[in-house]
Structure 1
Amino acid sequence: KIIHANHAAIKILAVNEQSIEEENYDDLIQGLNPELTVENLMKRCEFEPESEVFESAGRYYDIRYDRFKDENGKDVGLIMIIQDITQRMKLESMQMDFVANVSHELKTPLTTIKSYTETLLDGAVSDPETARSFLGIIDSEADRMNRLVKDLLQLSRMENNQEKWNMKESDLVKLLTSAVTKVALTAEAKKQKLNCLFEADARVAVVMDKDRIEQVILNVLANAINYTQEGGRIDIDLVVQDREAHIIIDDNGIGIPEDEQSRVFERFFRVDKARSRSMGGTGLGLAISKQIIEEHNGRIELTSRENKGTKVKIILPLSPAVTRGIPNIE
């Protein structure tokens, strides 16, 4: 018989208070773990308190138990603490995956740097052309490591609320036009067409950290350029609806398989790992972009069709001054 069970225990056992009073423990525990009978637990904790972790119906539990004795030292029952540790297990798994990914991402350029350095030390440095080529590769890999560390530090600052935000009311059209100009030469090198569908002389006021929002726009534009074939098309638009500004970047590139689209904002996730690394990507750009936009009370959405193209929407709330009809744009 169960003498006492708090509300958390009742919830974990998925029963009600009446069941606790009327049914015996061994019957109630069957739905959670049939191995946790009184007889089994009493045997396991015969000499000292015991604990174990088990899984049930997709959730993880930490259970600690010991014999309960009266003032004479006689066993009169069992005391048990059950804790739902599902969220903790997920966080620990994420941390382990994160460390493994960081280690892998750093190991790759380090291996390249070491290999080329050893070749130079073995005599290749005497050939100026070879030395220049090798040093260029080493410099490129060092830059890649630097980008990774900078991205990791930025993610860490945002997750710990240590990022400094310079929020001001600014013109989103002007910022978008500037971002498109910065990537124009890269697109031109691939003979791609950047179609600006928005009105360049319009004004859309948004309270934002301009540098951070530009970082997001440039990241999305860079992805569109990188994953769109030569001669491809990238449409850039900005529309206002329901007191929100929608930046829309739509390409006719290689697209993303449907079963992988839900993961594109995960850290280190890449649809095409080899291609992404060859272009210097850290696998953190969209994860950082999502955090930046959410800090602005906005959303970033992605839809894609494989071999057809990808559309990304960056949605930001309009400045309160705009919704009140008061123009005040930096």
Structure 2
Amino acid sequence: VDWPNLQEILKDSVNDLFPEADLVPVRDVMPSHPEQTMTALPLQLEPKAVPLAGPEGWTPLRGGLAMAWVALVVTLVTVALTGWSLIELSERRIRFVSAVTHELRTPLTTLRLYLDMLTSGMVNDEKHRQEYLHTLHAEAERLHRLIGNVLDYSRLENHRQQPNLSCIQVAELIAQVKETWCDRCRDAGKELVVENALSPTVEIVTDPALVQQILGNLIDNACKYSRHASDPRIWLRVTTSETRGGITDSTIHLTVEDRGPGVAKAEHRSIFLPFRRGRTVDPTASGVGLGLALAARWTTLLGGVLTLKTPRDQKGACFDVALPSGPGREPILTSHDSKG
């Protein structure tokens, strides 16, 4: 047998699979590795280690696989975000329907009961009749504010509301708010205290109706959620920001403060989301959780910022509305301790 020639022929036949293979004669009757032993010849294949060498750098195959993985990741992220958005939208709708249904049922029940008593002639005493009429007026006003808030929120969601800017003296604007809310606060057992540190001639270019709605929502919340506070006062303060040099800037601050239970630290951000109410609030207090959300969006619409700050006595809630004194001016926020 021409062993060298035979060995070369056999190695060439497996060279594509085992380029470093070697053929070793088998002298034992029972080979140690029968799976590597040839059937016709007493030879054993020693394949040795095969180096796994591949092309360096990017290849068309690698590029295609990378693009496929990127596309898969993007698809999964998109699906996850879409699913989260749908779940969030569904939860918001459920909260909306539940809150509005509850808030509508209570005043409607009161209106129906009192109207039935008045129309059936069950109330003959004039004093009691006036009390019932006063209650009916209060419940009708409550319904009006509820429906108004829902419609305002719908307009903001659809980007249909635009501010109607005009120049007005800050003192006149605050006087209008005081005239509207002094009696309402008194009916709720509260006292509205107005502190205006600005000159009577200071003017602001803004939407007076929106500012009144913003402050109205904040004062209304203060009345509802500080119902059991030992101090019945609600403060409406008007100030301006000052730089370190003592120069007054163009930002006007309208602050509403009460001595109620305040806002839990964990809710300082979520409190401004629609249909959210604090966990520590009085569960009997009316509202659907739109007051602060509307106030924050209206403030942004006017170029301002609504923040939750630390009250002066470290107790209660303090909401600060920072508005630019004129159009095109961004409000300069102060360095007060903000919790919003």
Where on the TM-score scale, by shorter chain, does this alignment land: which range?
0.5 to 0.7
Whichever residue aligns with residue 235 of structure 1, its letter is: W
User: Counterparts of 1:52-91 in structure 2 under 5 Å?
Assistant: 62=75, 82-91=76-85
* CA offset digits 1:159-210 (Å, max 9, x no partner): 22211431223333321232123222233452536141424624132x3211
User: Counterparts of 1:290-309 in structure 2 under 5 Å?
Assistant: 290-304=296-310, 308-309=315-316
Structure possessing the higher radius of gyration over alpha carbons? 2
Question: SS at the partner of 2:272?
Answer: coil
Find the partner of 2:94 among 94, 100, 104.
100
Question: SS at the partner of 2:317?
Answer: strand
Residue in 2 that maps onto 1:150: 148
Residue in 2 that maps onto 1:198: 197
Question: SS at the partner of 2:266?
Answer: helix
- State TM-score, norm by structure 2: 0.60
Do the aligned partners of residues 137 and 123 (structure 1) sit closer, same or farther apart at CA in structure 2, a change above 3 Å counting?
Answer: closer
Residue in 2 that maps onto 1:245: 252
* CA offset digits 1:259-294 (Å, max 9, x no partner): 2222221112122262322xxx23211111111111
2:252/2:322 contact within 8 Å kept:
yes
2-side partners of 1:199 and 1:3: how far apart?
Answer: 67
Per the TM alignment, residue 2 of structure 1 is displaced from its structure 2 partner at its CA by 5.0
Residue in 2 that maps onto 1:218: 216
The root-mean-square deviation of aligned C-alpha atoms, in Å, is 4.1
Unaligned stretches of 5+ in structure 2?
1-60, 242-248, 331-340
Question: SS at the partner of 1:264?
Answer: helix
Whichever residue aligns with residue 217 of structure 1, its letter is: L
2-side partners of 1:135 and 1:224: how far apart?
Answer: 25
1-side partners of 2:112 and 2:239: how far apart?
Answer: 54
* CA offset digits 1:278-314 (Å, max 9, x no partner): xxx2321111111111111210001357981111110
1-side partners of 2:138 and 2:285: how far apart?
Answer: 14
Do the aligned partners of residues 200 and 226 (structure 1) sit closer, same or farther apart at CA in structure 2, a change above 3 Å counting?
Answer: farther
Do the aligned partners of residues 107 and 194 (structure 1) sit closer, same or farther apart at CA in structure 2, a change above 3 Å counting?
Answer: same
Greater strand share, structure number:
1
1-side partners of 2:222 and 2:107: how far apart?
Answer: 29
Find the partner of 1:256 among 245, 263, 282.
263
Residue in 1 that maps onto 2:236: 236
1-side partners of 2:316 and 2:83: how far apart?
Answer: 37
Q: Which moved more, 1:212-221 or 1:152-161?
A: 152-161
Residue in 2 that maps onto 1:287: 293
Per the TM alignment, residue 157 of structure 1 is displaced from its structure 2 partner at its CA by 1.4
1:304/1:310 contact within 8 Å kept:
yes
Unaligned stretches of 5+ in structure 1?
14-60, 63-81, 324-330
Do the aligned partners of residues 320 and 230 (structure 1) sit closer, same or farther apart at CA in structure 2, a change above 3 Å counting?
Answer: same
